[in-house]
Structure 1
Amino acid sequence: MAAGRAWSRARTLAVGLLAIMLAGGAAGAPAVAQPTGPQASVVQPAPAEPAPPVAPPGREPSMGGGIEWVAHRDNPFRQGDDADFINSDLAFSGDYLVQGNYAGFSIWDIADPASPELVSAVSCPGGQGDVSTVGNLVLIAIDETMSDDSCAASRVPETAENWEGLRIFDISDPAAPRYAAAVRTRCGGHTHTVVPDPGSTDRVFVYMNAYSRGASLNCTGRNPLQVIEVPLAAPEEAAIVSELDLFDDETAFGPEDRVAGGAETRSTTGCHDITAYPAKGLAVAACRGDGLLLSIADPLNPVVLQRVRDPAVTFWHSGIFDNDATRIVFQDELGDGFINTCSPAYGADRGADAVWLIQPDGLVKAGTYKLPREQSDLEKCVAHSGGLVPVPGRFIIAQAWLEGGVSVVDLTDPAAPVELAWFDRPSYGYSMDYTAGIWAVYPYRGHLYASDMYEGLDVLRLTDPVFADAARYDDASLNPQTQPSYAWVWREAPVVPTAPEERAPLETLAVEPAELVPADTATVTVSLPAGSLAPGETADVWWMPTQAVLATVTAAEDGALAPTEVALPGPLVAGTYDLVVRGDASAPKLALASVVVAEHTAAPAADAAPAAPGGDAWWLLVLAPFAIALAYHVALAVRRRRRTLG
């Protein structure tokens, strides 16, 4: 019993000693942190989805292809079927859309495309109310002969004293637009085109597009193109600064050129519409009986590069460039929008889109596109206003067809156009006395906005992956008759400087961990503080060794990039590598981080004993048996001493 108790005490002492030894050894060992990184991406909670639009019974639209109807808002001016209160063209400024109307204009907040909000509706009649936006200004072309330039003016005969021209509103407060100025022009403006001054951002030029319509006091014969200068900080000083005749003395067509049908080809007495492409120094003019290609290198003195005519075209309505300015599509408004030309009776080449190639020796017609769905005799249908859908390497347009609806068409191969998507309401069930349907449709920030004359405003979303690049543009503004140039910056790899003095000023991208060991792959977390990116812009995380995009994220409203986990492609060998974040809107600005992959530490010899649990405390386990034996002998010696003393 005594010997057993001695062994028990020895064992307890040894275990205690060993525990103390192990605890002392472990105290000096570093703690091993478990990975606690964020999820693969940080996703903000989605706001509640707005209710989808609902059509009245029997008025449900048909849709096809990759398109979704996300919102509808009624025309705030509508009074039954009275044509004096129909919507016309559109313009965009940041989160606001301006919709023209024969009775004035509306301003919509489209920050949430699925839930547009009416901000204001300004009553100021004067014809179709073609609109543009420039900074805090809204420009409205007036082509009805009015008693004066005020919003209280009444319509008067063209043969009486009258006023036509350009009205300018200040919308610094979109909820309370202020009438700022007016400029009288000879024949008013059926449409107008804003052209930037290449030498100054303080002013713009406005082309007033107008043509004679019959007996008139002022608007007779062939009308010159009148150019208005608008100082942005002082719109009240706007004035005509240039005018010129774009034509020679010939009429557009002689009697032998007329084509039988619902409408005859119109003689050219001025231009219906001009689309400027300032980045290319070009413009395309649709002038009733003629199509023109213009140089606008000097905006005050446009030069006609080529004039073309086409017996298949009745009314040259408008034109659109492709992004490279190698092709143009012209719209033919056969019948002035008052008849149904989308029927077999008019064939495939009339009331259609016509594609022309811009070649060194001039414009060459390459193909036509006509809406493929036959419309009823109660519907007005013809090619009207539309715009370029920015898809890299493709010539895709969104096209309004009045009561034929909206069509998204790929014209990349002019000889074989393809309709990618459409949206079309049924007829009203009776024939409108005036034209009706979709006046215009334009792409903006990944959505299509359609101005329906009687119905109001429709918002469509293109869902096909082919439109993904188009959806990434966060446009600051858009006047569809002033065509922007698209660069698709996100498709080109960033250029990162190599010199230390050039790298030093770049924004520092936070990356964790910044040091790695060689491996097949690894995961890191990147982030940026507020103010690093443009608020809400789309940004890519680039791995520069392979020039690959690892993630596409959205900046926060304060310009921060929330911690985002990305997987680095391997194999990761020793070296230093660049990781870059670049935003679409703030490009070419870069945020840069260096990731270091360190060499492996020396591996243990092949014949070395395996490491024992406890890391650097393995030697304690080796000494443990000796400690137990020592404790036993100490206990035994104590027992013998007690016997001797007893």
Structure 2
Amino acid sequence: MRAGRAASRARSATACLVALGVAAVLLAPPALAASAEREPSIGPGLEWVAHRDNPFRQGDDADFINSDLAFTGDYLVQGNYAGFSIWDIADPAAPELVSAVSCPGGQGDISTVGDLVLISIDETMSDDSCEAARVPETTENWEGLRVFDISDPRAPRYAAAVRTRCGGHTHTVVPDPASADRVFVYMNAYSRGASLNCTGRNPLQIMEVPLAAPEDAAIVGELDLFDDETAFGPEDRVPGGAETRSTTGCHDITAYPAKGLAVAACRGDGLLLSIADPLAPVVLQRVRDPAVTFWHSGIFDNDATRIVFQDELGDGFINTCSPAFGADRGADAVWLIQPDGLVKAGTYKLPRAQSDLEKCVAHSGGLVPVPGRFIIAQAWLEGGVSVVDLTDPAAPVELTWFDRPDYGYSMDYTAGIWSVYHYDGYLYASDMYEGLEVLRLTDPVFADAARYDDTGLNPQTQPAYSWVWRAAPVVPTAAAERAPLETLSVEPAAIEPTDAAEVTVSLPPGSLTPGETADVWWMPTQAVLATAAAGADGSLAATTVALPGPLEPGRYDIVVRGDASAPRIALASVVVASSSPQHAPDAAETRATGGSAWWLLVLLPFGVALAYHAAIAWRRRRRVAR
């Protein structure tokens, strides 16, 4: 029997909300004073705009710490060992806690797909309900995936559950290229000791989740990514290497569906996969590194020409950000994806040494979409947040950071920033004990990254970025092709020759995608004159732009193009003509004739007509004379 159908016996229709936690956060002032006694160090080009307390926190109890993040529209979902929180981030500087759902089950790795929240459970529980208790791994237990419906984010509904062999330490959502009605989920898990079900080398389990009927979710495939090869085992040590963890399964997989690729971090091994067929991943290459202890996660650059792997040396329980561990251990390793395979090209380690009271190691992060650069934001636990430029793998540069002082004592469990991701121009960081941090990238280098109007993000499902607004629009020249284009309102539409002028452009409701960023292009020089945000109704409010001169007689195109609605454009023309005569030739023709002889273009047709009529009259007179 499918666990999704059987699970209804043990759950209520609506998940349990942590009422006291919600009330505490909603009543708290929006200022950053909640952590004023531990004021962070903040690097250049970064602004700390919001802090929100962990609504589940109970002192220093590790059963209530935050984990990973996922995004859907204006909502951020934050995983927790006790359940998950939903935050309204429509105003990033003022996040509002919408609901906090109590449903324990381990670190609660989380994803969103539209109105669905997926949570992988890697603690052995007595059953699949939110009221289940933790039980020993050596007794009958339940682990797997839980699915919630958050179509009403203030009242999430527990919709389904699927049992898997070894639970899910993490999971990865992979779209079905053949259908938008379902997604696949890669469940990543590895053995951690004596267990009833989770022993030996664990296969990758592939789950199908129908979006309209999540209760029908089920395992549809299994795959041993290591085939018949021996995965990294207890006696398999690279000479001179660290204490590498045995590969009994994968810790994390990052998929890049647009490129048909994925990168798997599998404790002792790193893998590059083809996921052209999501139900049948193929291992393209497997690598090992004498400096890496625990292959934790990976990130692609936008072109899928490079990967950065994170090494979680010490499992996050020690401070590896100290000179004692050197520059290559507990660090990032950048690998080039070349035709003949992966080639290691550089290493990055947090440059700010941390106190041994802190746990610091490379942890979860993602791409910051800056054109032509490989920039990531990454968590380092108590080492904070680091924004790193890896464009030159041999010479990585930290661009900025966010780092709190230590707690003043050594936490019994790991602490600090679990993960940090870029979303819609901001960085969102999940702090295990403290809560949620929101940071704004203010350096101009991030201007293009800030222009994405994201509709959602699962960081382990990496999107492709195109930067469409950087290329000038293509305007058709044929009248038949120009006629169907959206008409841009421009005032005044006709002006006299001048050195400079101003016009105002606007669009009615429905012309653009609501809220998207739109550019006003001056097509003669293919330059952006202004950038504005579309209204909630898809309109463009009256926007005044300065036209670069000199403006000689002619017809000049102005285009408005939005980022989200591209390649669609709205078109208008500004006619520059002297008060007499009325005809205005095309600007390109004017320039070709030097500008001063434009009147010839106007008078020539009249001269031809007069000559024609004179010839006809002369012929008639001759006929009469005969």
**Category of TM-score, reference length = shorter chain:** 0.7 to 0.9
Equivalent residue for 2:539, pick from 560, 563, 568: 560
TM-score by length of 1: 0.84
1:413-562 matches, within 5 Å, as 413-562=392-541
Aligned residue number for residue 232 of structure 1:
211
Aligned residue number for residue 288 of structure 1:
267
Q: Is the contact made by 1:258 and 1:264 (CA closer than 8 Å) also made in structure 2? A: no
1:499 offset after TM fit, Å? 2.1
Equivalent residue for 2:389, pick from 410, 414, 424: 410
- Separation in 2, partners of 1:347, 1:259: 17
Amino acid at match of 2:205: Q
Give secondary structure in 1 for the equivalent of 2:476.
coil
Equivalent residue for 2:253, pick from 255, 274, 279: 274
Q: Is the contact made by 2:238 and 2:290 (CA closer than 8 Å) also made in structure 1? A: yes
- Separation in 1, partners of 2:187, 2:262: 14
- Separation in 2, partners of 1:171, 1:414: 41
- Separation in 2, partners of 1:137, 1:244: 26
1:315 offset after TM fit, Å? 0.2
- Separation in 2, partners of 1:180, 1:384: 31
The change in CA–CA distance for 1:151 and 1:51 in structure 2 (over 3 A counts) is closer
Aligned residue number for residue 251 of structure 1:
231
1:20-419 matches, within 5 Å, as 52-56=31-35, 58-247=37-226, 248-252=228-232, 255=235, 257=237, 264-419=243-398
- Separation in 2, partners of 1:291, 1:232: 31
Give secondary structure in 1 for the equivalent of 2:544.
strand
The change in CA–CA distance for 1:331 and 1:543 in structure 2 (over 3 A counts) is same
- Separation in 1, partners of 2:97, 2:31: 17
1:232 offset after TM fit, Å? 0.3
1:259 offset after TM fit, Å? 7.2
- Separation in 1, partners of 2:310, 2:268: 12
Aligned residue number for residue 575 of structure 1:
554
Q: Is the contact made by 2:240 and 2:290 (CA closer than 8 Å) also made in structure 1? A: no
Aligned residue number for residue 594 of structure 1:
573
Give secondary structure in 2 for the equivalent of 1:200.
coil
- Separation in 1, partners of 2:36, 2:102: 31
**Larger of the two Rg values belongs to structure:** 1
TM-score by length of 2: 0.87
Q: Which runs of 5+ in 2 are unaligned?
A: 1-28, 583-626
1:571 offset after TM fit, Å? 2.0
Q: Is the contact made by 2:84 and 2:108 (CA closer than 8 Å) also made in structure 1? A: yes
Post-superposition Cα deviations, 1:575-624, rounded to whole Å, max 9, x if no partner, equal 22211001111111111101112245279xxxxxxxxxxxxxxxxxxxxx
The change in CA–CA distance for 1:536 and 1:57 in structure 2 (over 3 A counts) is closer
1:57 offset after TM fit, Å? 5.0
- Separation in 2, partners of 1:76, 1:171: 18
- Separation in 1, partners of 2:346, 2:240: 21
Amino acid at match of 1:242: G
What percentage of residue pairs aligned between the two structures are identical?
A: 85
The change in CA–CA distance for 1:489 and 1:337 in structure 2 (over 3 A counts) is same
- Separation in 1, partners of 2:548, 2:74: 39
Post-superposition Cα deviations, 1:371-400, rounded to whole Å, max 9, x if no partner, equal 011111111000000000000000000010
1:83 offset after TM fit, Å? 0.4
- Separation in 2, partners of 1:386, 1:259: 30
The change in CA–CA distance for 1:120 and 1:601 in structure 2 (over 3 A counts) is same
Amino acid at match of 1:281: G
Amino acid at match of 1:257: R
- Separation in 2, partners of 1:602, 1:508: 27
Q: Is the contact made by 2:238 and 2:289 (CA closer than 8 Å) also made in structure 1? A: no
1:256 offset after TM fit, Å? 6.4
- Separation in 1, partners of 2:553, 2:66: 65
- Separation in 1, partners of 2:533, 2:36: 40
1:191 offset after TM fit, Å? 0.2
Give secondary structure in 2 for the equivalent of 1:335.
helix
1:411 offset after TM fit, Å? 0.3
Post-superposition Cα deviations, 1:202-222, rounded to whole Å, max 9, x if no partner, equal 000000000111111111111
- Separation in 1, partners of 2:569, 2:231: 56
Amino acid at match of 1:183: V
Q: Which runs of 5+ in 1 are unaligned?
A: 1-49, 604-646
CA RMSD after TM alignment:
1.5
- Separation in 2, partners of 1:184, 1:255: 32
1:348 offset after TM fit, Å? 0.2
Give secondary structure in 2 for the equivalent of 1:427.
coil
Whose RCO is larger (CA < 8 A, sep 6+)?
A: 1
- Separation in 2, partners of 1:416, 1:401: 20
Aligned residue number for residue 585 of structure 1:
564
1:368 offset after TM fit, Å? 0.5
1:503 offset after TM fit, Å? 1.6
Amino acid at match of 2:183: V
The change in CA–CA distance for 1:602 and 1:86 in structure 2 (over 3 A counts) is closer
- Separation in 2, partners of 1:601, 1:503: 28
Q: Is the contact made by 1:388 and 1:443 (CA closer than 8 Å) also made in structure 2? A: yes
Amino acid at match of 1:184: R
Q: Is the contact made by 1:259 and 1:265 (CA closer than 8 Å) also made in structure 2? A: no
1:120 offset after TM fit, Å? 0.3
Q: Is the contact made by 1:259 and 1:312 (CA closer than 8 Å) also made in structure 2? A: no
Post-superposition Cα deviations, 1:543-593, rounded to whole Å, max 9, x if no partner, equal 111111000111111111111111111222222221100111111111110
